[in-house]
């Protein structure tokens, strides 16, 4: 039972997040229409918004320096009082604001700003400010130019919170702080804060109480206490997300009627016998995990993460054959025509020679029938395929989005594999899963070649079970990655391409990424193609592939490259996923600093697929040590250092933060105000585990009504929906 339940309900019950959410900020003293308006500009409408408007940082006044102690050139924080601020025009016409300040011992400090005339209004005489900057000596006087300045008003205390504020809104950090203080004080004086977390869990995890955490994050007696408060509140945020995910997962499982597949059978045995290699340990383990799911009456919802080349296709086909062997059908959906085609031929090759009982006759067998359905399938073919599909004559259907269109009806869809999940939404997953007219829910395996860190997977794909193919088939020669930093090093890349082609190998050249403009990207690809043909790669057979080609042109180019009639494929990122030409042994990525880690890793995965030593050149002439370039440099160095997608994913998370990882989700209203998938990796796992403890098998939080209420309040119905639309 939750601790709050020992307080009787009614007016004396401690206040919940829902209570706070339902109180407009104007209930607080001093918040009239004008202040309410200013708060609204900061996104603060309710008391809940206010008390979860956490400090952006803290100024530790126990560690502040005195102006007289600082050496010129030293970076430091000082607390000073403003004496006078004046603005004048410089000779060049720029506003220059000079502020005269003194510290606690009367030492003076001059602070100047350029082009920020509003500083004069902000820094009124008498205000106490925290100044962070580099000390300079100018004509014997101590001063700082354009330091970071925060007003702290008359706030006392050793640790001063600095709130996110907006100068436009006209709310100072101490006004916000005072309002929060008042809100917290009033809650404490009356009904207190409800703590929805069961005491036993709180004690086990050594978390401080909710009320204490809220009080001390806003007014910490020390930074150590603040860290404890932050840990509790960050945990709460992560727990709410996990509760929503786990609830959803259990509800789906509970409601659905799944198919009990015949996972041991002769079809699969014959399939194994046809393979020219043995499965990797990881493939065996993952196929076993899938077999366990398929044999259960609950529908499978599993995510398969596996690096490029880890052998996901084989796992996919094994999954589909397990369905087929019990008399059901399988579907494989890919995000692009190119990939669907490739899967179509790949799957056909893998199941060639396998047969299934022919329902038309008890004694005969017929070959396993694979069909390809895309938007390009002709009308007559489409009609023929759909008829056979509905009659049960097609065993495996491979295709694109065309699979989830109206009119596509399976006789008995048993298992669905969706490749490259990040391009499909949850609705599409659901649409394919529900293609059976008898209400039986097909099992779903989602595959992604974009490894994401474990904790992030728990959040982004928290409603799925996760399997990982963390082993590459034997005999791969690792790809050597070289960062070409200047023209000389770049010329080595072109020499390598010519050399490899002379040896009978093939090459990819990836042309610069142009954000947000297909058109520019295409013209850049065309220009590169033209230049290479007359300069660096003159005399080689070059092909050009980009997103604006018609699909038959695309096919023709791909086919020519696959058959070795082209030496070099010059391409935009359209080759990012799935293209499989084992004879290609070198890739040159131009302007590699424009691509993200995941994308570079995907691109690089197009080589090293055969038995040849492969090389990937990252061309990026980064000699300007700017901050923006430092991050690019770290990305490129990481790619040079490792080919392990999971390791790269961790680096990516560190460099970019989770914002980009969560993608669109992060842009909506978001409950992760304090928690970070990066900083709080350990807490994510703990929160998920606790969520599994608290949610019952029907997906209900019935025994923990306050938590249930809180998930709804904070994430909101709309946001919980949003959470599932990846």
Binding site residues, ligand ADP, CB under 6 A: 277, 279-280, 283, 306, 308-314, 449, 473, 580
Stretch 561-580 residues interacting with Mg ion (CB under 5 A) = 578
Shortest Cβ 308–Mg ion spacing (Å): 7
- Among residues 363, 384, 383, 385, the alpha carbon closest in space to that of 372 is found at 385
Written as six digits, the tokens of 488 are 């000389």
We find the least distance from the C-beta atom of residue 317 to ligand ADP, in angstroms, to be 9
Category of 131 on φ-ψ map: left (φ > 0), alpha (ψ -120 to 50) or beta: beta
Report what 645 binds from ligand ADP, Mg ion, none; CB cut-off 5-8 Å by kind: none
User: Which of Mg ion, ligand ADP, none is residue 522 near (CB under 5 to 8 Å by kind)?
Assistant: none
Query: DSSP label at 547?
Result: T
Element (H, E) at 114: strand 108-114
* Least distance (Å) between residue 347 CB and Mg ion: 11
Closest CB to ligand ADP among 276 and 550?
276
647 binds, among Mg ion, ligand ADP, none (CB under 5 to 8 A by kind): none
How much of the chain is helix, strand and coil, in % rounded to 5? 45, 20, 35
List the single partner that 55 binds among ligand ADP, Mg ion, none, CB under 5 to 8 Å by kind: none
DSSP 613-649: --EEEEE-------HHHHHHHHHHHHHHH---HHHHH
Nearer CB in complex with ligand ADP: 306/462: 306
**Residues 690 and 386 sit within 8 Å (Cβ to Cβ):** no
Sheet holding 370-373, edge to edge: 370-373, 396-399, 329-333, 413-419, 443-448, 301-306, 465-469
133 versus 578: smaller Cβ distance to Mg ion: 578
- Give least dist CB 484 to ligand ADP, A: 26
The residue among 280 and 436 lying less far from ligand ADP, judged by its C-beta, is 280
- From the list Mg ion, ligand ADP, none, partner contacted by residue 309 (C-beta under 5 to 8 A by kind): ligand ADP
CA angle 141, 143, 149 (to 5 degrees): 155
Size of the site for Mg ion (CB under 5 A): 1
Question: Binding partner of residue 228 among Mg ion, ligand ADP, none, CB under 5 to 8 Å per kind?
Answer: none
Task: Select 277 or 692, whichever has its Cβ closest to ligand ADP.
Answer: 277
Q: Which is nearer to Mg ion, 173 or 450 (CB)?
A: 450
Measured from the CB atom, the residue of 279 and 633 that comes closer to ligand ADP is: 279
What is the nearest approach in angstroms of ligand ADP to the Cβ of residue 302? 15
**CB nearer to ligand ADP: pick between 279 and 388:** 279
**Smallest distance from the beta carbon of 599 to Mg ion, in angstroms?**
16
From residue 204, give the alpha-carbon distance in Å to each of 2, 195, 200, 682, 694.
Answer: 14, 15, 6, 15, 14
- The sheet carrying 141-145 orders its strands as 136-138, 141-145, 108-114, 95-103, 75-89, 128-134, 148-151
| Nearest CB to ligand ADP, comparing residues 178 and 580 | 580
State the binding partner of 46 from ligand ADP, Mg ion, none, CB within 5 to 8 A by kind: none
Closer residue to ligand ADP, CB minimum distance, 123 or 339: 339
Q: How far is the CB of 605 from ligand ADP (least distance, A)?
A: 7
Residue 279 binds which one of ligand ADP, Mg ion, none, with CB within 5 to 8 A depending on kind? ligand ADP
Q: What is d(CA 295, CA 690) in angstroms, rounded to the nearest whole number?
A: 28
Tokens (6 digits) for 119: 């500083």
Q: Which stretches within 439-486 are classed as H helix? A: 454-460
What tokens were used for 254? 């509970």
Contacted entry of ligand ADP, Mg ion, none for residue 418, CB cut-off 5 to 8 Å set by kind? none
Considering beta carbons, is residue 177 or 578 the nearer one to Mg ion?
Answer: 578
- Nearer residue to Mg ion within complex by CB, 14 or 578: 578
Beta strands in 455-612 (DSSP E): 465-469, 480-484, 506-510, 542-545, 568-571, 584-589
Q: Which is nearer to ligand ADP, 4 or 576 (CB)?
A: 576
Alpha helices in 156-297 (DSSP H): 173-189, 199-204, 210-218, 223-255, 266-274, 281-295
Pattern of binders to Mg ion over 578-607, x per CB under 5 A? x-----------------------------
Residue 584 falls in which region: left (phi positive, over 0), alpha (psi -120 to 50) or beta: beta
Provide, rounded to whole angstroms, the least separation between the CB of residue 279 and ligand ADP. Answer: 5
The residue behind tokens 């599409």 is: 428
Find the shortest distance in angstroms from Cβ 599 to ligand ADP: 15
Question: For residue 6, with 0-12 CB atoms within 10 Å meaning exposed, 13-18 middle and 19 or more buried, which class applies?
Answer: exposed
CB of 289 to ligand ADP, least distance (A): 16
Query: From ligand ADP, Mg ion, none, which one binds at residue 306 (CB under 5 to 8 Å depending on kind)?
Result: ligand ADP
Q: Which residue's structure tokens are 């994401």?
A: 452
List alpha helices for 256-362, DSSP H: 266-274, 281-295, 312-325, 337-351
CB under 5 to 8 A by kind: which of Mg ion, ligand ADP, none does 36 bind? Answer: none
Minimum Å gap between C-beta 423 and ligand ADP is 15
- Report the distance separating Cα 244 and Cα 683, nearest Å: 16
Q: Which of Mg ion, ligand ADP, none does residue 580 bind to, with CB < 5 to 8 Å depending on kind?
A: ligand ADP
CB 580 to ligand ADP: min, Å:
6
Element containing residue 692 per DSSP (H, E): helix 681-694
Q: Are 398 and 420 in contact (CB under 8 A)?
A: no
- Contacting Mg ion within 133-162 (CB under 5 A): none
Q: What does 310 bind: Mg ion, ligand ADP, none (CB cut-off 5 to 8 Å by kind)?
A: ligand ADP
Helix (H) or strand (E) segment spanning residue 331: strand 329-333
Q: How far is CA 583 from the centre of its chain?
A: 33
Strand partners, 15: 193
Query: How is residue 159 written in tokens?
Result: 């640790």
Residue number, 385 or 417, with CB nearest to Mg ion: 417
User: CB of residue 274 vs ligand ADP: minimum separation in angstroms?
Assistant: 12
Q: What value does the CA radius of gyration of the chain take, rounded to a whole number of Å? A: 31
- Nearest approach in angstroms of CB 582 to ligand ADP is 7
Q: Taking CB within 5 to 8 Å according to partner kind, which of Mg ion, ligand ADP, none is near residue 344?
A: none
Q: Which residues form the interface with Mg ion (CB under 5 A)? A: 578
């Amino acid at each position: 039972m939750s601790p709050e339940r020992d307080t009787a309900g009614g007016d004396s019950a401690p206040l919940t997040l829902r209570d706070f959410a339902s109180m407009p900020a104007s209930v607080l003293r001093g918040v009239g229409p004008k202040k309410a308006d200013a708060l609204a500009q900061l996104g603060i409408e309710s008391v809940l918004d206010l008390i979860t408007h956490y400090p952006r940082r803290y100024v530790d006044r126990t560690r502040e320096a005195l102006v007289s102690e600082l050496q010129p050139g030293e970076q430091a924080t000082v607390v000073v009082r403003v004496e006078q601020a004046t603005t004048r025009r410089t000779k060049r016409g720029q506003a220059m604001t000079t502020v005269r300040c003194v510290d606690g011992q009367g030492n003076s400090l001059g602070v100047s700003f350029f082009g920020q005339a509003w500083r004069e209004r902000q820094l009124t005489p008498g205000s106490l400010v925290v100044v962070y900057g580099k000390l300079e000596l100018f004509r014997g006087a101590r001063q700082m130019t354009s330091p970071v300045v925060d007003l702290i008003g008359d706030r006392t205390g050793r640790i001063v919170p600095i709130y996110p504020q907006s100068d436009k809104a006209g709310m100072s950090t101490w006004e916000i702080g005072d309002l929060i203080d008042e809100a917290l004080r009033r809650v404490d004086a009356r009904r207190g804060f409800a703590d929805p977390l069961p005491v036993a869990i709180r004690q086990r995890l050594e978390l401080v109480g909710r009320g204490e955490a809220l009080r001390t994050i806003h007014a910490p007696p020390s930074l150590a206490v603040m860290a404890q408060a932050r840990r509790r509140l960050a945990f709460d945020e992560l727990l709410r997300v996990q509760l929503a995910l786990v609830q959803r997962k259990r509800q789906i499982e509970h409601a659905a009627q799944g198919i009990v597949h015949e996972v041991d059978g002769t079809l699969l045995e014959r399939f194994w016998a046809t393979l020219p290699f043995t499965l990797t340990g990881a493939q065996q383990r993952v196929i076993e995990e899938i077999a366990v799911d398929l044999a259960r009456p609950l529908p499978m919802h599993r995510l398969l993460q596996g690096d490029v080349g880890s052998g996901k296709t084989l796992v996919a086909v094994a999954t589909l054959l397990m369905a087929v062997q019990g008399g059901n059908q399988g579907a494989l959906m890919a995000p692009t025509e190119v990939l669907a085609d490739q899967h179509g031929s790949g799957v056909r090759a893998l199941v060639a020679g396998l047969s299934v009982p022919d329902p038309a006759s008890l004694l005969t067998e017929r070959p396993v029938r694979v069909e390809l359905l895309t938007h390009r399938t002709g009308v007559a073919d489409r009609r023929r395929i759909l008829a056979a599909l509905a009659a049960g004559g097609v065993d495996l259907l491979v295709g694109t989005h065309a699979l989830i269109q109206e009119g596509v009806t399976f006789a008995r869809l048993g298992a669905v594999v969706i490749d490259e999940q990040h391009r499909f939404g949850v609705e599409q997953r659901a649409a394919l899963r529900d293609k059976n007219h008898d209400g039986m829910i097909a099992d779903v395996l989602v595959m992604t070649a974009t490894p994401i860190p474990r904790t992030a997977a728990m959040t982004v794909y928290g409603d799925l079970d996760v399997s990982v193919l963390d082993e590459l088939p034997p005999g791969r020669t690792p790809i050597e990655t070289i960062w070409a930093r200047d023209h000389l090093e770049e010329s080595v890349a072109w020499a390598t391409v010519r050399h490899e082609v002379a040896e009978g190998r093939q090459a990819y050249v990836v042309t610069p990424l142009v954000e947000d403009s297909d058109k520019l990207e295409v013209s850049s690809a065309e220009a590169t193609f033209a230049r290479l043909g007359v300069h660096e790669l003159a005399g080689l057979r070059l092909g050009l592939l980009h997103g604006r080609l018609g699909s038959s042109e695309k096919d023709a180019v791909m086919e020519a490259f696959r058959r070795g009639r082209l030496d070099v494929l010059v391409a935009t990122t359209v080759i990012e996923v799935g293209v499989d030409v084992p004879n290609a042994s070198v890739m040159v990525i131009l302007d590699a600093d424009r691509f993200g880690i995941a994308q570079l890793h995907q691109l690089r995965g197009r080589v090293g697929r055969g038995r040849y030593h492969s090389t990937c050149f990252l061309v990026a002439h980064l000699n300007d040590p700017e901050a923006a370039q430092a991050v690019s440099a770290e990305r490129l160095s990481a790619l040079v250092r490792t080919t392990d997608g999971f390791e790269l994913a961790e680096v990516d998370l560190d460099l970019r933060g989770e914002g980009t990882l969560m993608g669109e989700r992060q842009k909506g209203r978001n409950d992760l105000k304090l928690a970070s998938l990066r900083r709080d990796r350990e807490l994510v796992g703990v929160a998920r585990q606790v969520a599994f403890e608290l949610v019952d098998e029907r997906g209900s939080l019935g025994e923990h009504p306050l938590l249930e209420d809180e998930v709804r309040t904070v994430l909101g119905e709309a946001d919980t929906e949003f959470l599932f639309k990846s």
